[in-house]
């Protein structure tokens, strides 16, 4: 199966996913910020901003605030944020400086019929976090979720071909998987459920390895599959 075709499939899916990114700030994003900025998994700074962030009881072995979601996708998404943070800091600092200079005239309205979302936006804007949250959402969607999902589309295409399905049919089914399932919707923002599914999909492919597609030793394939299972 030509590598050029696989690369075109990956880039096509990646571009479409990036163009449909959302600025939704999910619970997984808080951990991205905490890992990169404070080098910790504790979420004390963001306690009260999300219903899934909870305060550990005083008797807990690990104090502070945390969330109950799988941390794997946040650990992966922390990588692109780490490298783009200097640029994001420049944009955020410039915006906050402009707001300070504007004084009370620097206002914004978030139009949404759901009061809790409006309240959340107002809270983070007062704290000067709204621009950073939006940029982190864009970065993690474009440089984490989009390439992961695009890679899973290519894997689907390759596996279908290894099963003996014709190239056109395999390509059509892969595009159906890419844009006709919740993969398209979930790729728009950082989502641990989709991340878990993609990690498990790659682990499954490594264990199955139809027609000896990947010329790794069985031991190596099982180790990497196990690591992906742990990441999930």
pTM of the model: 0.91
pLDDT at 166: 95
Distance between CA 51 and CA 69 in Å, rounded?
12
pLDDT at 14: 98
Residue holding tokens 């919740």? 182
The CA R_g of the chain, rounded to the nearest whole Å, is 21
- pLDDT tens digits in sequence order for the chain, 232 residues long: 578 999 999 999 999 999 999 988 999 999 999 999 999 999 999 998 888 898 988 888 888 898 888 899 999 999 999 999 999 999 999 999 998 888 755 567 777 888 888 888 888 888 889 999 999 999 999 999 999 999 999 999 999 999 999 999 999 999 999 999 999 999 999 999 999 999 999 999 999 999 888 899 999 999 999 999 999 9
Distance between CA 173 and CA 153 in Å, rounded?
9
């Amino acid at each position: 199966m030509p590598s050029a075709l696989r690369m075109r499939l990956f880039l096509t899916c990646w571009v479409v996913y990036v163009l449909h990114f959302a600025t939704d700030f999910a619970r997984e994003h808080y951990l991205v910020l905490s890992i990169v900025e404070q080098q910790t998994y504790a979420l004390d700074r963001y306690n009260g901003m999300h219903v899934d962030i909870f305060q550990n009881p005083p008797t807990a072995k690990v104090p502070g605030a945390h969330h109950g979601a799988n941390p794997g996708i946040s650990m992966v998404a922390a990588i692109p944020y780490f490298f783009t943070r200097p640029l994001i800091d420049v944009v955020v600092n410039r915006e906050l400086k402009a707001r300070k200079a504007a004084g009370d005239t620097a206002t914004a309205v978030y139009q949404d019929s759901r009061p809790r979302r409006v309240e959340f936006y107002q809270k983070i804007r007062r704290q000067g976090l709204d621009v950073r949250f939006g940029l982190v959402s864009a970065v993690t969607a474009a440089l984490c979720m989009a390439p992961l999902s695009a890679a899973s589309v290519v894997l689907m295409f390759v596996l279908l071909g290894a099963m003996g399905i014709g190239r056109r049919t395999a390509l059509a089914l892969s595009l159906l998987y890419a844009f006709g399932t919740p993969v398209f919707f979930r790729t728009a923002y950082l989502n641990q459920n989709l991340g878990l599914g993609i990690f498990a999909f790659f682990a499954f492919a490594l264990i199955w390895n139809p027609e000896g597609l990947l010329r790794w030793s069985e031991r190596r394939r099982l180790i990497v599959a196990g690591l992906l299972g742990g990441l999930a």
